[in-house]
Amino acid sequence: MDIATLIGLILAAGLVIGSILTGPGVGFFFSLPSVMIVFGGSFGVTLINFPLKDVLAVSNVAKKTFFSSADPPQSIIEKLVEIAEKARREGILAIEREMDTIDDPYMKLGVQYAVDGVEPEAIRAILESELTGMEARHSQGKKIFEALGAFAPAFGMIGTLVGLIQMLSGLDDPSKIGIGMATALVTTLYGSMAANMVFLPMAGKLELRSGEEIRMKEMILEGILAIQSGDNPRVVRQKLTTFLPPADRVSEEEAKAAAAGKSE
């Protein structure tokens, strides 16, 4: 679980709600019509903007902001180096017996193509096409949240205008003007909070997650091509390590020591 997402959401919401609770008239900050206008309206126009199946799938996309299903980069490197060592000792066909131990579908697909003797150019073209499709799917989810982030404040303003019209229609009773104004402004508050505390931060986190996953897939692709070309496992490790930030890089000796510790 991404603890930063959870902490950020709790911190942002907690500070706003806390400031509301410290003031008078807490009840004015809840308005069912405002909720209906902001969230119902934003969701409605999003359906106009995007296909129904993509909008309905947005809850699954949102999980990526809290949970990352990708394997740690170092474990991917170790798996590819392990396959390279086997291919180096026993030949490329020998790694077919390792297929059941590969959990990543992208890696399994590439290794299968290498075992089948597919040309490196063809493997690169196929796996890069897979990457392009994945990037497009991720981009769609990000666009939906960005659209919600744009629509929510707009519907907040629409709700405020509706509230002001209703307030002005009852000017014959001055005692209700203050209450009417407060109710009208709550809708703008809801729209701003939804956009800046939920929708736009989620879009940003999805973009980050997508970038991380694409880099890992690119690393896997280069590892598979290096294995197919018969590179020394040490060279394979060095090639793959370049995809990691310097602070996250682990030497061969450290990796072997960590693997030995896990096996004990």
Q: Which two structure tokens, joined as six digits, stand for 21?
A: 């609770």
CA–CA dist 103, 94 (Å, integer): 18
Report which secondary-structure segment, H or E, holds 135: helix 120-168
Cα distances from 69 to residues 43, 74, 183, 213, in angstroms, run 27, 15, 43, 10
* ∠ CA 37-41-42, rounded to 5°: 120
Q: Which amino acid is at 207?
A: E
The pLDDT value recorded for residue 100 is: 85
Alpha-carbon distance values, 147 to 152, 188, 200, 230, 251 (Å) = 9, 17, 9, 48, 44
Task: State pTM to two decimals.
Answer: 0.78
Helix (H) or strand (E) segment spanning residue 150: helix 120-168
pLDDT at residue 252, as a whole number? 62
**pLDDT at residue number 106:** 92
* Helices 105-115 + 73-90 axis angle, to 10: 20
Write out the H or E segment, with its range, that includes residue 13.
helix 3-21
Instruction: Tell me how crowded residue 26 is: count the other CB atoms within 10 A of its CB.
Output: 11
What's at 97, amino acid-wise? R
What's the rounded Cα separation, in Å, for the pair 223 and 226? 5
Closest-CA residue to 148 (of 196, 80, 83, 212): 196
Tokens describing residue 164: 């002001």
pLDDT value of residue 212: 87
CA distance 24 to 222: 61
For residue 4, the model assigns a pLDDT of 81
Nearest partner of 182 among 20, 68, 39, 51, judged by Cα: 20
pLDDT at 150: 95
Q: Which residues in the chain show pLDDT less than 70? A: 1, 25, 68-70, 175-176, 178-179, 251-264
